[in-house]
Amino acid sequence: MSCYKTLLLDAAVLPLQDTKMDHQSILIIAAHPDDIDFRSSGSAALWTRQGRRVAYVVATSGEKGFNGNGKLSIEERQAIREGEQRAAAAAAGVEQVHFLKHPDGELANTPELRRDLVRVMRQVKPDLIVSGDPSLDAYDSFYGYHSDHRAIAQATFDALYPAVGNENFFPELLKEGLEPHRPKEAYFSGRGATLNVWVDIAETFEAKLRALACHKSQIADIKEIEPRLREWSREMGKEKGLACAECYRRLEIPD
Ligand SMILES: [Zn+2]
How far apart are the CA of 43 and the centre of ligand 1, in A?
A: 18
CA of 179 to the centre of ligand 1 (A): 30
Q: Where are the alpha helices (DSSP H) in the chain?
A: 4-9, 35-49, 74-91, 111-124, 147-160, 171-175, 205-213, 222-237
Q: Tell me the residue range of the domain where 245 lies.
A: 4-252
Query: Tens digit of pLDDT per residue, the chain (255 long)?
Result: 555 444 433 333 333 344 568 999 999 999 999 999 999 999 999 999 999 999 999 999 999 987 766 689 999 999 999 999 999 999 999 999 999 999 999 999 999 999 999 999 999 999 999 999 999 888 988 888 899 999 999 999 999 999 999 999 999 999 999 999 999 999 999 877 789 999 999 999 999 999 999 999 999 999 999 999 999 999 999 989 999 999 999 999 988
Split into its structural domains, the chain has a count of 1
The alpha carbon of residue 170 and the mean position of all alpha carbons in its chain are separated, in whole angstroms, by 24
CA-to-CA distance for 246 and 211, rounded, in angstroms?
15
Output the CA 143–ligand 1 centroid distance in Å.
Answer: 8
- The CATH number for 90's domain is 3.40.50.10320
Give the span between the Cα atoms of 156 and 243, in whole angstroms: 30
